[in-house]
Structure 1
Amino acid sequence: MQASNWEASGDQSCLISSPRNSSCSQGSVPVYAVNVSTLSHVQSAVRFASAKNIRLVIKNTGHDFFGKSTAAGSLSIWTHHMKNMSFHDDFVAKRCSVSPVSAVTVGAGVQWEELYQAVFKQGKVIVGAGGVTVGAAGGYPQAAGHSPISPAFGLAADNVWSMK
């Protein structure tokens, strides 16, 4: 988690500065977690949560200013190990009739530092986050994704061709 305040739930807290003899609760952290590395793992976790009526949260790195990557009594799908990357010289999104473009497909666990290194080796540039430990496929591009090179290349969201 990005901040310890997301671990507390209301008046329940257990901070490092709490007295050693104080009671601690689970707080706003998931009670279940699945470390996924494939799409089928994600699908199984979603089916399980649905069958058991358990709230789902998705977490890659935990960089979330609003605490959406954690919730009390939930099942956390941890996508950090979904590290696949593939480059395409002539990508066309499904059901689109546009000219092919150069693109990269990234898994849900890829962080910007990893993607920057791979893109550099390809001799390309990508609109991305300044925080290199932030996930490349999560909230950053989904919430616009401002970058130092945005004036020249647009926001991260402007450069997304498809999401799965």
Structure 2
Amino acid sequence: MAMLRLLAISLLCGVVAVPLLGEPRGDGFEHARYAVLVALVIGQAVTVPIGSVAGLVLATTGSWPRTPGYATGAITAAFGVVVATQAWAASRWIDGSPPGLRDPEDSSLVAAAALLSGVFTICLGICIAVMRWSGYDPRTAPIRRSRTRRRPRTP
């Protein structure tokens, strides 16, 4: 569960790079959207491996067994929807050969990476919400019940 939680958090933390790297090359909303997507993909390329390693360490040691909550799943899925829709719109804009982009093929790759990131984030958020809704708790062991009652031992 720590792996899922930290993977979701690391996908969301990719936004930290947007103010640092999200400077548009041209004028207009489309150039700003593309710059934000590029910064998001770069930020996620840094934060996802860190979150995955931390989640793997915590999962193997059993330090953080709690199931992620509904809020984590809902926020992750909503963030994925925003990223996927903006990446789809940027992809459609790039296919129209806009002025001001140096290489439309490289730009299409960045938009495709952002779209895949958004779809993966949506799936992760839904998985977290479904696991929480189903009542899955790794700290509890399944109860084994026998069909026959055992007689108490007599000393």
Q: Do they fold alike, i.e. is TM over 0.5? A: no
Choose 1 or 2 for highest CA Rg.
2
TM-score (norm 1): 0.24
Structure having the larger proportion of residues in strand: 1
| Larger RCO: 1 or 2 (CA < 8 Å, sep 6+) | 2
TM-score by length of 2: 0.25
